[in-house]
Each structure stands twice: as C-alpha cells, then as structure tokens.
C-alpha cells in the first residue's frame, strides 16, 4: 500500500478548515438575541377579590429593534379571573446601542374562589419590529395563589411564614444628651425671662418716682383751684424729677437729662413747659392766679413719665 501524498492531504483538508473557521466566526452573530426578558420577583400568594397585581417586566432590545405598540394588550377582562387595567411602558437608551424597555402590567382579580386555589395570569405576546426580521417574545403566564373573600383560608401546603425579625436597636445616647442640653438651655432662658418680667411687674413703686407721684397727684389735683394747692402739686412733681435724676434737677439741665434718658421730643417739650410753668408760679409773685389747664398738664406729664419709666426701668 502506497503512503498518502502529503500534498494531496493538504489540498483536501484546507477547505474543511476554512469552512470551520468561517462557522466559528459567524457564531457571535448567530448568538445575538433580539430581546432579553427579565421578570423581577413579586408576591405570588394571598390574593383576594379586588386585589391588584402590578407585574414589572424588564426588556433589553438589540440595536434596531423596537416594540410594536399594537401588540400591547388592551384593557378589559381576561380569562374570567382577571381584568387588565393598564399597561405602562418606559424606554431608555442602552449602553450597547440598544434600548431598555420597562413595562408595568396592572391586573385586578375580579372573581372570588370558593376554596383556595392556584390560577394563572394569562401570557402576553409582544411583537418587536426592526432588525433583519420581526421578532415575537412571549411574557409567560404568572401563577398566583388566591383565597376566598373574608374567610382567611390559606393553602395547607404553603411553607410556614418566618417570624418577625426584631428591629435593630439604634444608639440614641448622643441625641438624648443633646436634647437634654437643649432642654436645660431652654428652661434657663425661660426662667430668666420670667424673672425679668416679674421684676418689671413687681418692682416696688417707691423705685418708680413718677408712678408714686402720679398716685399722689390724684389727691393733690383736687385742690388745684388755689395757688397753694397748685404749688404743692408742682413741688410733688419736682420731687419726682429729683428722685429720677438722683439730684436736684433745675430747668437749665432738663434738656441734657432728657437726652441722656432717650426721651422723645414730645416728652421733652412737656418737661420744659412744666419747668417754665413752675418758674412763673414760684418766682413771679405778680402772677397770683393758677394758669389755665395746669391740672391737665400735670396729669398728662405724670402719666407720660410713668409710662416712660415702665419701658425703661
């Protein structure tokens, strides 16, 4: 038997190798899936009449493919047990050049079983256009467990529910410490404000010269028709000014004293007029009568300075 010709062997095997190489090169193109479907997990048990299930569906479309809107099911009753309420869709570009599509299929249970049983949410066929050829993807049916209305029955073959996991404890010592400090600061501030208010309201009248003078003037002003009564009332007001100033207050120093205290222009004018009236009444004997309106001027002046010393203790 003659040995095989190496040249003949190479000529026979070369086409086979080329065909195999081309087939391997074409595998990725053949392996491209136009649509990839993912269904997140949802609760599949314990549904009763009227309950609504929102089934999320995630789709990844290859470049060139898009969902045919006419393939989306219309709202209405499906398979006797369910009513399709709505199908919401949202799309976004994919990093690979395709499209990411999210669907929310909302169905409602419209019948109540007499005993617990398993029923299926019907499948949905979605068509996709574009690409080399049209493509159809089936959203598989969803199997759920339903129970009679109001009976509280459940299937006996379901696994026992796990007990509630205790909530982890949170260290709130720092928060309680801050709350304690804030509370102490607030209580201290409140106590200080209340003390200041009490001191203001309960301050002895003897420390308020004009308040004391106003109280005495209620009696002295009744005798204002006579010069002696008018002089007595004027002297009482002078004593109030001396007590407030801490020394004898003369007419020449009235303006500076009012300015230091912060008295307004109206109060300053009333005080200057009082000292002018006093000079006329005490140092001009020819003026024997009591000036008209002196009673009202003294009452108004005493009241104005009484209000001022309340605002400026």
- Whether 41 and 140 map to the same domain: the answer is yes
Looking at the structure of the chain, the number of domains it has is 2
Give pLDDT tens digits for 160-182: 666 777 888 888 889 999 999 99
304 within domain boundaries = yes
151 within domain boundaries = no
- Whether 138 and 210 map to the same domain: the answer is no
Give pLDDT tens digits for 204-249: 545 688 888 888 888 887 777 777 788 888 888 888 888 888 888 8
CB atoms within 10 A of CB 109: 21
State the pLDDT confidence band at 42, using cuts at 50, 70 and 90. confident
Query: Which has the closest alpha carbon to 273: 255, 247, 289?
Result: 255
186 within domain boundaries = no
Of 146, 172, 189, the residue that ends a domain is 146
188 within domain boundaries = no
Residue partners of 88: CB distance under 8 A and separation at least 6: 103, 104, 106
94 within domain boundaries = yes
What is the C-alpha separation between 258 and 186, in angstroms, rounded? 38
Instruction: Name the residue range of residue 236's domain.
Output: 205-311
Of 96, 130, 146, the residue that ends a domain is 146
% of the chain at pLDDT higher than 70? 81
Query: Which has the closest alpha carbon to 238: 220, 264, 263, 226?
Result: 220
Of 146, 161, 191, the residue that ends a domain is 146
């Amino acid at each position: 038997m003659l040995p095989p010709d190496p040249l003949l062997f190479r000529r026979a095997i070369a086409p086979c190798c080329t065909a195999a190489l081309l087939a391997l090169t074409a595998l990725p193109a053949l392996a491209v899936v136009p649509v990839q479907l993912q269904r997140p997990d949802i609760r599949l048990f314990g549904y009763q009449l009227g309950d609504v299930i929102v089934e999320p569906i995630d789709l990844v479309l290859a470049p060139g493919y898009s969902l045919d809107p006419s393939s989306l099911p219309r709202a209405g009753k499906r398979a006797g047990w369910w009513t399709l309420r709505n199908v919401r869709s949202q799309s976004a570009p994919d990093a690979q050049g395709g499209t990411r599509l999210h669907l929310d299929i909302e169905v409602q249970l419209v019948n109540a079983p007499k005993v617990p049983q398993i029923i299926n949410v019907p499948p949905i066929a979605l068509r996709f256009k574009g690409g080399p050829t049209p493509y159809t993807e089936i959203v598989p049916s969803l199997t759920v467990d339903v129970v009679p209305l109001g009976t509280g029955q459940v299937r006996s073959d379901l696994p026992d529910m796990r007990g509630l996991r205790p909530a982890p404890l949170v260290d709130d010592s720092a928060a309680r410490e801050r709350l304690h400090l804030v509370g102490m600061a607030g209580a201290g501030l409140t106590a200080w404000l209340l003390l200041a208010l009490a001191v203001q309201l309960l301050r002895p009248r003897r420390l308020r010269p004009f308040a004391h003078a106003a109280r005495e003037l209620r009696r002295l002003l009744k005798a204002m028709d006579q010069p002696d009564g008018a002089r007595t009332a004027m002297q009482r007001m002078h004593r109030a000014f001396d007590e407030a100033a801490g020394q004898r207050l003369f007419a020449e120093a009235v303006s500076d004293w009012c300015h230091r205290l912060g008295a307004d222009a109206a109060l300053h004018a009333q005080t200057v007029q009082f000292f002018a009236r006093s000079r006329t009444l005490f140092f001009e004997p020819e003026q024997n009568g009591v000036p008209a309106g002196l009673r009202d001027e003294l009452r108004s002046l005493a009241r104005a300075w009484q209000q001022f010393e309340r605002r400026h203790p």
